[in-house]
Amino acid sequence: MGREIHMFFFPFFAHGHIIPTVDMAKLFASRGVKTTIVTTPVNASFFSNTIQRSRESGIHIAVELLKFPAADVGLPEGCESTDLLPTSPDENFETMMKFMQAVQLLQEPFEKLLREFKPDCLVADLFFPWATDAANKFGIPRLVFQGTSYISLCVMECMRIYEPHKKVQSDSEPFVVPNLPGDIELTKSQLPDSLKQDVETDFSKIAKAAREAELKSYGVVVNSFYELEAPYADYFRNVLGKKAWHIGPLSLCNRENIDKAERGKKSAIDEHEFLKWLDSKEPNSVLYICFGSMTCFTSAQLKEIAMALEASELQFVWVVRKQKNNEEDNDWLPEGFEKRSEGKGLIIRGWAPQVLILDHVAVGGFVTHCGWNSTLESVCAGVPMVTWPTFAEQFYNEKLVTQVLKIGVAVGAQKWVRLVGDFVKMEAIERAVKELMKGDKAEEMRNRAKALAEAAKKAFEKGGSSHSELNGLIEEIGLAFSIDQ
């Protein structure tokens, strides 16, 4: 080919979308592809350290900025990420819709960048449905980045086609997702509101636009690896007829260089002291609890978790993110909890270096919301999970972890509730964490998780399934470019 391929990467403005997209850009750049990440000033600041370290290691990634039109839709200046929106569920829905309006307004300035740079390929997040039309105007192939699992993509499509949830008598009656391998069983209460309601909602409109844009796109890039969910990778491509490449786990890009600047965020703890604390613990003895950057539990729910941890007598690291309100910071903790937990448990208020924690030999279990980034990071670390899905596609990911891979124990959350999740009582939490860490099948689950971690590394290495998929994708883009010329 006469010159190097130039690819644009356009992540949605949320940490859970930015992190894997930046990793993906790094991955393509390490294979000699010219890469440019398009984002806004505030979002660029979140990963500036990562870009700087990449440049120092000889991998150059360019960044192009778009002004985020916050004021145009009534948002405060600087509100450029969903993570910066108010966390109260009532406020969040209305504010989220304003945010999505602002995202829509970016189409014109984004097209100016495409006209100026004329990249050979665009990888844009599914939440930019208009990116397909924008790319098609300039004859640029658009790849959709699906930041979730193959199993979730398959479940969502089968639910749309067959509508099994419309055939049950109640919200709690189980049904099997039709025609999908593995007899995946769900209930209506575990489905998103947009799927349960016959009326068109703002979110269902966005989902519909994203689906239609994907049909017109060049294909789909998936952050997964074949050995993790082979039946669903095959189903997605061969039965549903989707053009897709799995090039993950993208978090493995960072495994050789994990430090506190890894995600462009300052840790809420002294990492040196924290690692010394973990070093003093026995292998597989510490339970890690974290629910991502979006889920915000009520004080009542946090209290149930605290009581369950105390009753379980397990050692723990607990990352807490609670709803913004006027309550005292510690009013959700049982009296004397932190004093009684000294030496046994740590509470981190704010951001914590998750990959670093999961990779530590002392950590033997992870209580997670089943967000796909967290699930993959746990798989890569060989750590089994207590699954506590709250919303989005998390209930589908839970089925992969507990039912298909058998590396997790469900806490028993039954209801899909945006941002706050279903309320789970102390007894159920205690049962699940004990089963994961000390139960009859704990060792079996841990061994399976360790085997999957090895499979993930092999998939990512030269000759592995993800490595080969990435090579094939780069070759295909290069071939399309040379034909166009």
Closest CA relative to residue 321, chosen from 341, 283, 347: 347
**Residue 284 φ/ψ region, left for φ over 0, alpha for ψ in the -120 to 50 degree band, beta for the rest:** left
CA atoms of 25 and 37, how far apart (whole Å)? 7
Q: Are 24 and 221 in contact (CB under 8 A)?
A: yes
* Of 15, 23, 120, 125, catalytic: 125
Among candidate residues 17, 246, 360, 467, the one labeled active-site is 17
Order across the sheet with 408-410: list the strands: 345-349, 315-320, 286-289, 363-368, 385-387, 408-410
Would you call 422 a catalytic residue per the annotation?
Answer: no
If phi > 0 it is left, if psi is from -120 to 50 it is alpha, else beta; for residue 321 that is beta
The whole-angstrom separation of Cα 224 and Cα 147 is 9
- In 3D space, the residue among 32, 27, 36, 41 whose CA is nearest the CA of residue 61 turns out to be 36
Catalytic site includes residue 467: no
- How many residues in the chain? 485
Q: Are strands 185-186 and 175-176 parallel, antiparallel or unpaired?
A: antiparallel
Q: Which residue has the tokens 């309601």?
A: 197
Active site (catalytic) residues: 17, 125
